[in-house]
């Protein structure tokens, strides 16, 4: 047992003695490493190791949280005493309850063939610089006037324990690569923030052909700056890629599915959810939110997924969550507190992004489930339409109903075939129901781009995949309402 | 103890071959109370204690954070980080750090010792604000109260030593009458005098706004004059002033690159980066290099006149540091020594909010809060943001009715050039959507584009 584990076990014993009816401690050790270049020249690089412990206590009057990097029993005692005192002073009329969950003893880790720590620092530096050089060697390279490349590597080890008997050890390796590039073309500049990440070792780059993806993405950026023209398409059919479908799955379905938002806990931060309106009138499994072909899953167990985990940060075993099934609202995202409010079990959606953050309800890897068509078959039935392959700007209201996605790489579809005619910055400004109700076909192929999901205060940026199948949306008015 | 940690780190780094070193130790407790549905959800305490170390040999740079620093951790971390530093290529961002030892002046009013015991009364203060919002018409109340203190001690390889202590509080209170009728207030500062009253007032105002928003309907998309509350102005116009930063210009994340010396706002608008306001949450006597902080004009008489600098960016652009150096995170693993804003201060105007409304003869939208500001192109300043909470249509100089579900889709520089009124109700804004403490009044902008969902 490590010192951190011993301190965590001590913490829950002490918190229980202080009167906490529930106590948990999460000891985390993190190794983080990052390299950043601008136009091929290194501008930042560093490595850091840190460790700390976060503790949550529940009393009948309220909940307290404390964290410290000082792994000393006297300091832990002081921190817990204050957390318990503040929890009691909260004087809630309605006590917080947790759903009953089985105590678990388990260990898990992401499979790693080649640990990033085993790659020499010089090789990592050269690796990032070489990617920049490779981009410049492409036929479009000179149009990429400003390039920022970031390699981010993290290993996070956790020991989670509760006074209910749960003890879980875990280790997750996450490799991420980002580009923020500006292309200059005949129609001005276009910018793109692009990220890929996987819960693997260094082998991720080769297995997932990340360099090829980066080159293709930048080729499209330059092409857009040179060829995309304003177009007024009126009401038209729109086919979106797995990347665009993924951000829709995340923003229009994943976030409103979070039970803490539905019941208002994020009211002053990430906002609430329009699902509350639906749940006041109907029940899960019956509420029709989209067409029959819409199925959206959030799955923490997807191998290699940036949001991968086997047990959540409350010790509940992870499983896929079918948020929308055949167009109907099927399942919400729960932690133990909100599962109890809905009189159900947690489905393991509690995540904390560091030892000094409370676990809250989060997505993991959210995606549109595949359908039965190839991409070409989706095009076949479109007389005149738009194919939106990637996006730039996006936002959505805090009830998750009014969304906007601005296309980057986008083409005209004519008589069932994709043309080379590019459209400049087409806008999907649609309600959630407007999107899900317009989908009439879904592709077999899937893709899983990366995103950092933002929520809570203080902010907790959680690594997630957001992707899935391509979608065909019928009769969409582009360009935002006027 | 702390002094020996700074000395130990510095001497060890120099012994290992570092030519330039910054050691900054920041420590102190932080607290948070989160609430929703008119009840406290969780009370938190953080023991913050971080040693930030910046190391350079020529243009090679790196840095490390050591949490809960001890001699043992320092003796392990510094040699390891120095080995890493030697492998780094030269950084084009680094042209040296402050090499003079300049006198700095302590700032009055940064620390209120009453903050140390505040955690005992804080839950009652929060419950008081919740009750005030409920009394003003709210059915539910959500929000957050942060408070705490921090001691910052700095030592550099050029002989600078300095320290200061500061405290802070900040609160957001959002009231709801129904799921779509809400109002929000932000309270920020350091001086705890009358904190209870400030929170209660904010609760009342948030509750009142929520009540005024009841019955709102889908707004009609189109072109309107736009009145932005201080909360909205701090976010939207703050995107312009915060990007008067060489790092952002270098990375093409700023629309300002080609506009220095140009009129980008009306002549009556002044904006400065001001690190010396006692209530300003980012006020400080010196920056991370030990350069004394100073007021830096960004917009003068409507003309874009300046940007913030640290030593390196100033050398590269052949000017002087403005004392804005900071260690900024890039991703999870690394930081860069680069300029960072302190408190952004927009000059006050002469009109009251009521006068601005009364002057609105064209159809005007009043937005009280917003979130989710995103860009299609940061160089061009093309963006959109979403009004949240109470929003109103003003016609013929009067607030006519609450409206909902509109999106501001516009261009940053077009908006700043079209400012037609500045209020005198200046306040400090810092919350979830505004990360630079910003002192700003109600501001009105002509001919803004509001869009809505098509289906």
Identify the pLDDT of residue B92.
Answer: 87
A11-37 b/e (C-beta count within 10 Å ≥ 16 → b)? bbebbbebebebbbbbbbbbbbbbbbb
A85 touches chain B (CB under 8 A): yes
The nearest CA of chain B is from the CA of A392 a distance in Å of: 6
Interface test with B, best of A67, A74, A90 (most B CBs within 10 A): A90
Whether residues B418 and B275 share a domain: the answer is yes
Residues of A in contact with B39 (CB under 8 A): 90, 92-94
Interior angle at CA A309, CA A305 and CA A312, nearest 5: 140
CATH number of the domain that residue B48 is part of: 3.30.2290.10
Identify the pLDDT of residue B455.
Answer: 79
Identify the pLDDT of residue A468.
Answer: 98
Tokens of A374: 């190839």
Has residue B205 been placed in a domain?
A: no
pLDDT of residue A480 exceeding 90: no
Question: Dihedral of CA B239/B240/B245/B249: which sign?
Answer: positive
Residues of A in contact with B409 (CB under 8 A): 480
Q: Residue A312: name the closest of A206, A212, A175, A172 by CA.
A: A172
- Element housing A314 (H / E): none
Ordered by where they begin, the domains of chain A are 3-217 (3.30.2290.10), 235-477 (no CATH)
User: Any idea which residue has 């700023």 for tokens?
Assistant: B254
Paired sense of beta strands A22-38 and A41-59, if any? antiparallel
Tokens of A230: 């304003």
Whether residues B276 and B171 share a domain: the answer is no
Among A153, A189, A431, beta carbon nearest to B453: A431
- Taking the alpha carbons at both ends of chain A, their separation in whole angstroms is 64
Has residue B196 been placed in a domain?
A: no
Contact B47 A66 (CB under 8 A): yes
Which tens digit of pLDDT belongs to each residue from A424-469?
999 999 999 999 999 999 999 999 999 999 999 999 999 999 999 9
Residues of B in contact with A43 (CB under 8 A): 91-93, 330, 336
The nearest CA of chain A is from the CA of B115 a distance in Å of: 15
B270-287 b/e (C-beta count within 10 Å ≥ 16 → b)? bbbbbbbbebbbbbbbbb
Whether residues B317 and B433 share a domain: the answer is yes
Has residue B374 been placed in a domain?
A: yes
Contact B221 A404 (CB under 8 A): no
Q: CA B151 → CA A92, B26, B330, distances in Å? A: 34, 6, 24
Q: Residue A242: name the closest of A472, A482, A7 by CA.
A: A472
Distance CA B373, CA A445 (A): 32
Whether residues B92 and B157 share a domain: the answer is yes
Judged by DSSP in three states, A132 sits in helix
Asked whether the beta carbons of A33 and A156 are under 8 A apart, the reply is no
Tokens of B444: 């009105």
Q: How many CB pairs under 8 A join A and B?
A: 301
* DSSP-assigned letter for residue A141: G
Q: Residue A353: name the closest of A249, A455, A247 by CA.
A: A455
Structural domain containing residue B297: 217-451
**A324 class by beta-carbon count within 10 Å (0-12 exposed, 13-18 middle, 19+ buried):** buried
Whether residues B400 and B315 share a domain: the answer is yes
The pTM is what?
Answer: 0.97
Distance CA A191, CA A220 (A): 11
A68 touches chain B (CB under 8 A): yes
Whether residues B45 and B161 share a domain: the answer is yes
* DSSP-assigned letter for residue A375: H
Whether residues B155 and B256 share a domain: the answer is no
- Element housing A453 (H / E): strand A450-453
Has residue B209 been placed in a domain?
A: no
Has residue B422 been placed in a domain?
A: yes
Among B43, B61, B335, beta carbon nearest to A87: B43
Average pLDDT over every residue of A109-132: 98
Q: CA B27 → CA A68, B96, B340, distances in Å? A: 11, 27, 20
The nearest CA of chain A is from the CA of B50 a distance in Å of: 9
Identify the pLDDT of residue B331.
Answer: 79
Has residue B362 been placed in a domain?
A: yes
Identify the pLDDT of residue B3.
Answer: 63
Q: Which residue of A has its CA nearest to B176?
A: A267
Contact B455 A430 (CB under 8 A): yes
Whether residues B303 and B362 share a domain: the answer is yes
How would you list the strands of the sheet with B303-304, edge to edge? B303-304, B296-300, B271-273, B344-346, B434-440, B427-431
Whether residues B258 and B169 share a domain: the answer is no
User: Any idea which residue has 């959800």 for tokens?
Assistant: B41
What residues contact residue B402 under an 8 Å CB cut-off, 6+ apart? B181, B212, B213, B214, B215, B216, B217, B390, B391, B392, B393
**Residue percentage of chain A with pLDDT more than 90:** 98
Within 10 Å of residue B329's Cβ, how many Cβ atoms?
13
Query: How big is chain B, counted in residues?
Result: 455
Three-class HEC string of chain B: CHHHHHHHHHHHHHHCCCCEEEEEEEEEEEEEEEEECCEEEEEEEEEEEEEEEEEEECCEEEEEEEECCCHHHHHHHHHHHHHHHHHCCCCCCCCCCCCCCCCCCCCCCCCCHHHHHHHHHHHHHHHHHHHHHHHCCCCEEEEEEEEEEEEEEEEECCCCEEEEEEEEEEEEEEEEEECCEEEEEEEEECCCCCHHHHHHHHHHHHHHHHHHCCCCEECCCEEEEEEECHHHHHHHCHHHHCCCCHHHHHCCCCCCCCCCCCECCCCCCCEEECCCCCCCCCCCCECCCCCECCCEEEEECCEECCCCCCHHHHHHCCCCCCCCEEEEEECCCEEEEEECCCCEEECCCCECHHHHHHCCCCCEEEECCEEEEEEEECCCCEEEEEECCCEEEEECCEEEEEEECCEEEEEHHHHHHCEEEEECCCEEEEECCEEEEEEECCEEEEEEEEEECCC
Q: Residue A30: name the closest of A9, A52, A11, A45 by CA.
A: A52
Distance CA B317, CA B310 (A): 11
- Element housing A122 (H / E): helix A121-137
The nearest CA of chain B is from the CA of A456 a distance in Å of: 9
Contact A267 B179 (CB under 8 A): no
Tokens of A113: 């063939």
Identify the pLDDT of residue B2.
Answer: 60
Whether residues B157 and B231 share a domain: the answer is no
Has residue B378 been placed in a domain?
A: yes
What residues contact residue A391 under an 8 Å CB cut-off, 6+ apart? A243, A244, A247, A405, A406, A407, A408
Whether residues B295 and B444 share a domain: the answer is yes
B213-249 b/e (C-beta count within 10 Å ≥ 16 → b)? beebeebebeebbbbbbbbbbbbbbbbbbbbbbbbbb
Within 10 Å of residue A61's Cβ, how many Cβ atoms?
20
Identify the pLDDT of residue A482.
Answer: 45
Has residue B99 been placed in a domain?
A: yes
Residues of chain B with pLDDT under 70: 1-3
User: Any idea which residue has 């005619």 for tokens?
Assistant: A421
Q: Which residue of B has its CA nearest to A59?
A: B42
Show contacts of B290-293: CB within 8 Å, 24+ apart: B290/B22, B290/B98, B290/B101, B290/B102, B290/B104, B290/B154, B290/B156, B290/B158, B290/B160, B290/B162, B291/B98, B291/B102, B291/B321, B291/B323, B291/B325, B292/B102, B292/B103, B292/B104, B292/B105, B292/B323, B293/B104, B293/B323, B293/B324, B293/B342
Distance CA A42, CA A35 (A): 7
The Cα diameter of chain B in Å comes to 73
**B450 class by beta-carbon count within 10 Å (0-12 exposed, 13-18 middle, 19+ buried):** buried
Q: Residue A421: name the closest of A444, A394, A387, A390 by CA.
A: A387
A182 touches chain B (CB under 8 A): yes
Within 10 Å of residue B3's Cβ, how many Cβ atoms?
12
Paired sense of beta strands B296-300 and B434-440, if any? unpaired
Residues of A in contact with B120 (CB under 8 A): 85, 89
Tokens of B171: 């609160």
Task: Show the DSSP H helices in A258-331 as ranges.
Answer: 259-262, 275-281
Contact A68 B68 (CB under 8 A): yes
Query: How big is chain A, counted in residues?
Result: 482
Distance CA B12, CA B10 (A): 5
Q: Which residue of A has its CA nearest to B59?
A: A43
Asked whether the beta carbons of A356 and A56 are under 8 A apart, the reply is no
Whether residues B144 and B222 share a domain: the answer is no
Task: Give the total number of structural domains in chain B.
Answer: 2
Question: Dihedral of CA A308/A314/A320/A321: which sign?
Answer: negative
């Amino acid at each position: 047992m490590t010192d951190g584990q011993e301190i965590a076990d001590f913490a829950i014993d002490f918190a229980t003695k202080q009167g906490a009816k529930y106590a948990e401690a999460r000891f985390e050790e993190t190794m983080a490493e990052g390299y950043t270049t601008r136009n091929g020249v290194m501008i930042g690089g560093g490595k850091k190791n840190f460790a700390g412990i976060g503790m949550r206590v529940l009393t009948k009057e309220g909940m307290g949280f404390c964290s410290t990097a000082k792994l000393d029993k006297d300091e832990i005692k002081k921190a817990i005493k204050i957390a318990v005192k503040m929890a009691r002073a909260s004087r809630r009329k309605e006590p917080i309850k947790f759903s009953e969950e089985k105590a678990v003893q388990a260990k898990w880790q992401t499979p790693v063939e080649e640990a990033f720590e085993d790659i020499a620092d010089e090789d990592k530096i050269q690796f990032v610089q070489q990617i920049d050089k490779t981009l410049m060697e492409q036929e479009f390279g000179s149009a990429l006037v400003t390039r920022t490349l970031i390699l981010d590597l993290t290993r996070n080890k956790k020991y989670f324990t509760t006074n209910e008997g749960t003890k879980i050890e875990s280790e997750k390796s996450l490799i991420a690569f980002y580009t923020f590039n500006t292309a200059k073309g005949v129609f001005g500049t276009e910018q793109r923030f692009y990220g890929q990440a996987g819960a693997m070792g260094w082998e991720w780059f080769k297995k997932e052909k990340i360099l090829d993806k980066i080159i293709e993405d930048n080729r499209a950026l330059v092409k857009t700056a040179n060829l995309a023209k304003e177009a007024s398409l009126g009401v038209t059919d729109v086919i979106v890629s797995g990347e665009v479908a993924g951000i829709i799955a995340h923003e229009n379905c994943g976030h409103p599915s979070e039970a803490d938002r539905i019941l208002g806990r994020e009211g002053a931060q990430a906002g609430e959810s329009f699902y509350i309106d639906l749940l006041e009138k109907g029940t899960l499994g019956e509420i029709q939110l989209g067409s029959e072909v819409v199925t959206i899953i959030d799955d923490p167990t997807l191998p290699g997924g940036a949001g991968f985990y086997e047990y959540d940060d409350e010790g509940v075993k992870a499983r896929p969550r079918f948020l929308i099934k055949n167009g109907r609202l099927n399942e919400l995202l729960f932690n133990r507190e909100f599962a109890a409010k809905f009189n159900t079990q947690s489905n393991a959606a509690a995540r904390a992004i560091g030892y000094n953050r409370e676990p809250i309800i989060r997505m993991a890897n959210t995606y549109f489930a595949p359908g039965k068509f190839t991409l070409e078959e989706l095009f076949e039935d479109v007389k005149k339409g738009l194919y939106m392959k990637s996006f730039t700007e996006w936002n959505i209201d805090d009830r998750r109903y009014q969304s906007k996605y601005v296309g980057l790489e986008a083409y005209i579809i004519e008589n069932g075939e994709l043309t080379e005619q590019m459209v400049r910055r087409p806008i999907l400004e649609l309600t959630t129901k407007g999107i899900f109700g317009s989908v009439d076909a879904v592709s077999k192929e899937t893709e899983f781009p990366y995103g950092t999901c933002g929520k809570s205060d203080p902010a907790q940026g959680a690594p997630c995949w957001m992707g899935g199948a391509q979608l065909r949306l019928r009769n969409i008015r582009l360009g935002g309402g006027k | 103890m702390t002094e020996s940690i700074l000395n130990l780190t510095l001497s060890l780094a120099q012994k290992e071959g570092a030519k330039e070193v910054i050691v900054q130790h920041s420590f102190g407790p932080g607290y948070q109370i989160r609430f929703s549905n008119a009840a406290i959800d969780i009370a938190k305490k953080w023991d913050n204690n971080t040693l930030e170390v910046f190391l350079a040999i020529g243009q090679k740079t790196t840095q490390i954070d050591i949490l809960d620093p001890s001699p043992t951790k320092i003796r392990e971390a510094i040699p390891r980080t120095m080995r890493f530093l030697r492998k780094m290529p030269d950084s084009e961002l680094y042209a040296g750090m402050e090499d003079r030892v300049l006198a700095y002046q302590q700032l009055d009013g940064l620390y209120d010792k009453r903050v140390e015991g505040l955690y005992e009364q804080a839950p009652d203060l929060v419950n008081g604000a919740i009750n005030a919002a409920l009394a003003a018409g709210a059915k539910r109340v959500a929000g957050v109260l942060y408070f705490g203190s921090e001691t910052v001690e700095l030592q550099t390889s050029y002989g600078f030593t300095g320290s200061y202590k500061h405290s802070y509080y900040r609160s957001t209170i959002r009231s709801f009458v129904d799921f779509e009728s809400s109002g929000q207030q932000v309270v920020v500062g350091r001086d705890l005098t009358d904190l209870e009253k400030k929170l209660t007032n904010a609760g009342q105002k948030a509750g009142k706004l929520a009540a005024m928003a009841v019955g709102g309907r889908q707004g009609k998309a189109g072109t309107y004059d736009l009145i932005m509350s201080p909360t909205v102005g701090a976010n939207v116009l703050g995107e312009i002033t915060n990007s008067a930063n060489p790092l952002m210009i270098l990375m093409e994340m700023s629309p300002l690159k080609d506009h220095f010396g140009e009129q980008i706002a009306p002549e009556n608008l002044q904006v400065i980066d001001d690190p010396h306001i006692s209530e300003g949450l980012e006020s400080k006597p010196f920056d991370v290099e030990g350069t004394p902080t100073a007021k830096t004009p960004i917009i003068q008489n409507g003309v874009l006149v300046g940007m913030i600098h640290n030593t390196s960016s100033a050398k590269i652009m052949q000017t002087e540091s403005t004392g804005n150096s900071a260690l900024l995170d890039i991703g999870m693993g690394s930081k860069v020594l680069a300029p960072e804003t302190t408190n952004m201060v927009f000059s006050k105007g002469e009109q009251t909010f009521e006068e601005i409304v009364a002057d609105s003869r064209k159809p005007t939208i009043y937005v009280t809060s917003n979130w989710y500001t995103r860009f299609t192109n940061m160089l061009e300043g093309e963006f959109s943001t979403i009004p949240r909470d109470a929003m109103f249509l003003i016609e013929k100089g009067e607030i006519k009715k609450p409206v909902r579900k509109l999106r501001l889709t516009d261009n940053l520089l077009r908006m700043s050039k079209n400012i037609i009124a500045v209020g005198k109700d200046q306040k400090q804004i810092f919350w979830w959507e505004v990360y630079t403490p910003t002192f700003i009044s109600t501001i009105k902008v002509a001919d803004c584009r509001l869009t809505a969902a098509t289906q």
